[in-house]
Amino acid sequence: MTELPGFPALLARLLDHRGLDLAELTRRADVAGAEPTAVAAGGAPDPALLRRLAPVLGLDTADLFEIAALPLPADLAPVGGMVTTSIVSVVRFGKALPADRRAELRAFVASLPHARQVGRIEGLPASAPAPDPSSAGNLLMRMVASRNLGWTGTAKIFHQLTGRYWMSDAYGRIASGAQEPTPELVADFATVLGLPAGDLAALLGMPLPPQVPRPDDAVADAALLLRDLRRLGVEQLREAEDLARRLPVA
């Protein structure tokens, strides 16, 4: 099992891969030098600091909270509820659209208000194995869960965006730390999460396959759409699905 170090070491890995040092990160984020330095020395990151660092690092803010192993604030947390089918449908129809229509769909989704949170994400069984939060697989699955996906939704979205077909319980084994992510799986997670594969591999301290194809534009846009959808409840997702169905595909 690949056991991850704490946030300071993970941040250092990412900065090293990016060719950045802490001073440059601090300058770009326009934060007081003492804050990132304290984190680099092992201090707990402040949520406000993470919000400043995320765009500079090119990361989804919720993902950076997961990397730091901090609870997601309400405005970043997934809505929850019985949403898997709707999320999968919006992504499927959205991915089939031409670029301008994909942009129109994302703009519509962004215009919808954040829905009220409704509880546990669908597809995460109450009898799930106790997770090992220090494992690479658990971090990957927490990042996916922040997109309002349980194991069932994860399996369906991976199939849509990467072609990987696994049963949902395989993702449960990844989440629990019982199954080690392979280099190929890390590359697929990068596609679904909308991250450069090299960044994700560097963060986890894991290798990638010799050849990692760049996702095409439709897949990359679908990954960004997936991030946006976590804010929406079932009725809003149905509105987005209706629009995605109506938009012309040519």
The per-residue pLDDT for 131 is 59
Q: pLDDT band for 25, please (50, 70, 90 cuts).
A: confident
Q: Which residue has the tokens 């690949």?
A: 2
Work out the burial of residue 116: count CB atoms within 10 Å of its CB; fewer than 13 is exposed, 13-18 middle, 19 or more buried.
exposed
Residue 134 has pLDDT above 90, yes or no: no
CA 186/CA 150 separation, integer angstroms: 18
Residue 128 has pLDDT above 60, yes or no: no
- Radius of gyration of the chain from Cα atoms? 18
Residue 26 has pLDDT above 80, yes or no: yes
Q: What are phi and psi of 141, to 5 degrees?
A: -75, -30
Tell me, what DSSP letter sits at residue 103? H
Residue 200 has pLDDT above 90, yes or no: yes
Q: What angle do CA 94, 66, 95 make, to 5 degrees?
A: 10
Residue range 220-224: average pLDDT?
98
69: left (phi over 0), alpha (psi -120 to 50) or beta: left
**Where is 90: in which H helix or E strand?**
helix 84-95
Least confident segment among 61-70, 88-97, 119-128, 218-227: 119-128
Distances, alpha carbon 116 to alpha carbons 79, 120, 232, in Å: 6, 13, 8
| Structural domains present in the chain | 7-67 (1.10.260.40), 84-246 (no CATH)
For residue range 149-195, list pLDDT tens digits in order.
Answer: 989 999 999 999 999 999 999 998 898 888 899 999 999 999 999 99
Type of residue numbered 58: G
Q: Of 136, 126, 122, which Cα lies nearest the Cα of 174?
A: 136
Cβ neighbours for 124, distance < 8 A, ≥ 6 positions apart: 145, 150, 151
Residue 34 has pLDDT above 70, yes or no: no
Residue range 30-36: average pLDDT?
70
Q: Which of 17-26, 165-174, 220-229 has the highest mean pLDDT?
A: 220-229
If one compares 105 and 18, the residue with the highest pLDDT of the two is 105
Residue range 103-111: average pLDDT?
97
CA 128/CA 47 separation, integer angstroms: 29
Share of the chain above pLDDT 70, in %: 90
Residue 56 has pLDDT above 60, yes or no: yes
Q: Which residue has the tokens 């929850």?
A: 80
If one compares 225 and 177, the residue with the highest pLDDT of the two is 225
Type of residue numbered 34: A
Strand spans (E) along the chain? none
The per-residue pLDDT for 124 is 56
For residue 242 the two structure tokens come to 């209706």
Residue 81 forms beta bridges with which residues?
Answer: 121
Over the chain, what is the mean pLDDT? 89
Q: Residues 121, 78: contact at Cβ < 8 Å?
A: yes
